[in-house]
Amino acid sequence: MGTKVFIDPGHGGSDPGSVGNGLRECDINLAVSKRVQYHLQRQGIEVMMSRQSDTIVSLNERTNMANKWGADVLVSIHCNSATPAAYGVETYCYQFQYRNLADLVHGKILEDTSLYYANRGVKAADFHMLRESYMSAALVEMSFISNYRDAQLLANKQEGFAIAISKGVLAYFGKGWTDAESTLKPPNSGSSVGGSSSSIDVYYKAYANGIWYPEVKNLTDYAGVFGKDMECIMARLSSGTIEYRVSPLNSNYYPWVRNYTDYAGLPGYNIDRVQMRLIGLPNNQVKYRVHLLWGNWLPWVLGESDFAGIQGKLIDAIEIQII
Ligand SMILES: [Zn+2]
């Protein structure tokens, strides 16, 4: 069996899906889907997405894409909506005889008890994405956007949902979750921007849309959320000093800040460029790159030799490593 995975972020473009508690379903679905894509690709899985940005794609186009590509697995990612009182996670299969993938994905979500307030179980439904796709398919309703507590999960637990969904897909292929840090091969490794990791760990986090997203370490993950334009960043080292600064869109850099004594950036103002440098660590370098909003990862940058980003282009994620 191959390992081609089709990820379908529900809705998009003129169809936002359900809307509630300040969130649009299409944005949440896309942000989680992009993280699933990222994690699965890191685990060596081939991924195709039904959409990469906030665009409208019909249901027929989606299943045609997956069928034509010959996907082995399809996962459609959604947020639920009902009365404000309804909450919890549920996963759908087409018919119970085809429930294997849904059971695995749902089971991995249940393993992380921070992701839900109620287990609504695996259900069968005659949904287009499940019925018209030739491969094993599951549709995840992560939480209810119409419920206040559930909506907080959708806003703040996107990485958790993405990891759980990825683990479920891997389990379907009989694969376990491999620590991404040990298997990651940075795109430029071997080139002048390569180098192996040092014994110094870097911890960092990103701020967007009124929220500090979880702190990440080295290249185990990226900081930020795909689809959310970044406003501030913070970084610190396990030992030693890192300095960094950011530039608001099309403007001059804010001052350098050091470790977690402050953050770089100003809430409410999007940034387009980042620079980092190490202080008093002559044998190490900081290597970093940023991801363009609705775009790709830009090349790795070393220290102050350059900046990460493109003037005038918003960014939504950052990766940092000390080498
Ligand atoms: Zn939906």
Instruction: Please state the domain extents for the chain.
Output: 4-172, 184-322
**With contact defined as beta carbons under 8 Å apart, do 178 and 142 qualify?**
no
Give 205 Cα–ligand 1 centroid separation in angstroms: 29
Give the model's pLDDT for residue 297.
87
Give 184 Cα–ligand 1 centroid separation in angstroms: 33
101-124: pLDDT as tens digits: 999 999 999 999 999 999 999 999
Cα 269 versus chain centre, distance: 22
Percent of the chain with pLDDT over 70: 94
25 is catalytic: no
Encoded tokens for 62:
């989606």
Q: Dihedral, CA atoms, 92, 94, 99, 104, nearest 10 degrees? A: -40
Say which amino acid occupies 41: Q
Helix (H, G, I), strand (E, B) or coil at 115: helix
Q: Pick the catalytic residue: 25, 111, 132, 141?
A: 141
CATH of 4-172, one of 1.20.140.10, 3.40.630.40, 3.40.50.300, 3.30.420.10: 3.40.630.40
Cα Rg of the chain, angstroms: 20
186-224: pLDDT as tens digits: 333 333 344 567 789 999 999 998 888 888 999 888 899
280-296: pLDDT as tens digits: 988 889 999 999 988 88
270: left (phi over 0), alpha (psi -120 to 50) or beta: beta
Cα separation of 39 and 141, whole Å? Answer: 20
Give 126 Cα–ligand 1 centroid separation in angstroms: 14
Give 11 Cα–ligand 1 centroid separation in angstroms: 6
65-93: pLDDT as tens digits: 999 999 999 999 999 999 999 999 999 99
Residue 322 has pLDDT above 80, yes or no: yes
